[in-house]
Amino acid sequence: MQEYENRVIVITGGGSGIGQAIALEACRLGMRIVVNDQDKDYLNETEKLLKETGADFKIFEADMSLAENAKALLDFALEAYGQVDILVNSAGVSVSGPLWEIPEQDIKWITETNFLGHLYTARVFIQQMIKQETPAAIVNVASTAGLMTSGNAIMYHATKFGDVGASEALYLSLKHRNINHISVHCVAPAFIKTNIHESERYRPERYQDLSDPYYSSEEFKSGYRRAIKQVVAGMPIDYVGKCVFNAINENRFYVFTHPESIVVAANRIKNMAAGKNPQ
């Protein structure tokens, strides 16, 4: 895809961070934009920025971890603009801690947001994009945490590996069926200065029972401190929007924000092929 003027981009989690950066880049390219988020304050902030640039945009406030909201988002975009050309799944949360300590509700929350939510939207948007028969793109914001592992944040790794695997399989399943007008892209950022360390703020009402002792444990608090440290030291956000559109222009599946991530991911595969255990 090369022409963006007046085409329609829909971005989940577009109220903050990477999603917001992509929205601003889309605006520079003259696209019409639907910004989703579950956080009203973030949406207000993005709305203000987009208004300043004179963008043509609409706001859709909804929790995208719920399957029914995928179709509602598509219907909203079609009602507003009559077509959808790019879907960006950027909605995401961070949950750290060992599997045997984290409450079950956190496993559900992060899986429904980072993994299932991306699949729910991709599913219904692809149905529409197939009908449209015009160039279109699905962009899933995964993570380098989906290409390599660490001893922390098992559920974050699990959901991001899922997102990378599902995106690759999606790319191949479209190709194998000769559906060549829809491209798929998987963004694998390393640390970027966003609000991801504020994930507790995104916790949906259904998972807000914090009576489990885990939420007052040192393990929980240290995970939060670690996230702040990593994100604050991360790369500035400015360049990310361009990175994504460059990949769409070049029909490139993987989008790395940090080139060194490729080396670490390659080492993991090398170790695997050499029969070594995870390092």
Ligand X SMILES: NC(=O)c1ccc[n+]([C@@H]2O[C@H](COP(=O)([O-])OP(=O)(O)OC[C@H]3O[C@@H](n4cnc5c(N)ncnc54)[C@H](O)[C@@H]3O)[C@@H](O)[C@H]2O)c1
Question: What is the x/- site pattern for ligand X, positions 161-180, by CB under 6 A?
Answer: --------------------
19 binds ligand X (CB under 6 A): yes
42 binds ligand X (CB under 6 A): yes
Sheet of 182-188, strand order = 56-61, 32-37, 8-12, 86-89, 136-141, 182-188, 254-256
Judged by CB under 6 A, the stretch of 127-135, 195-203, 212-220, 247-255 that binds ligand X is 195-203
Question: What is the x/- site pattern for ligand X, positions 104-143, by CB under 6 A?
Answer: ---------xx--x-----------------------x-x
Judged by CB under 6 A, the stretch of 60-68, 147-155, 170-178, 212-220 that binds ligand X is 60-68
25 binds ligand X (CB under 6 A): no
Candidate residues 202, 220, 245, 256; the one interacting with ligand X per rule CB under 6 A: 202
SS3 80: helix
Q: How far apart are CA 108 and CA 88, in angstroms?
A: 22
Taken in order 218, 160, 7, 10, the sign of the CA dihedral is negative
Candidate residues 93, 116, 138, 247; the one interacting with ligand X per rule CB under 6 A: 93
Name the residue type at position 242: K
90 binds ligand X (CB under 6 A): yes
Helix axes 17-28 and 240-249, enclosed angle (nearest 10): 60
37 binds ligand X (CB under 6 A): yes
Give the residue numbers marked as catalytic: 156
Please report where in the chains the tokens 């179709």 appear, as a residue: 71
Give the residue with the Cβ less far from ligand X, 37 or 106: 37
Q: At its nearest, how many Å lie between ligand X and the CB of residue 53?
A: 19
Q: At its nearest, how many Å lie between ligand X and the CB of residue 167?
A: 12
Residue 36 main-chain phi, psi, to 5 deg: -105, 150
Give the residue with the Cβ less far from ligand X, 97 or 189: 189
Give the residue with the Cβ less far from ligand X, 9 or 196: 196
231 binds ligand X (CB under 6 A): yes
15 binds ligand X (CB under 6 A): yes
CA 62 and chain centroid, separation: 15
Q: What is the DSSP letter of 278?
A: P
**Angstrom distances, CA of residue 36 to CA of 4, 10, 62, 96, 279:** 20, 8, 7, 25, 38
Residue 67, exposed/middle/buried by CB under 10 A (0-12, 13-18, 19+)? Answer: middle
Binding site for ligand X (CB under 6 A): 12-13, 15-19, 36-39, 42, 63-65, 90-93, 113-114, 117, 141, 143, 189, 191-192, 194-196, 198, 202, 231, 234
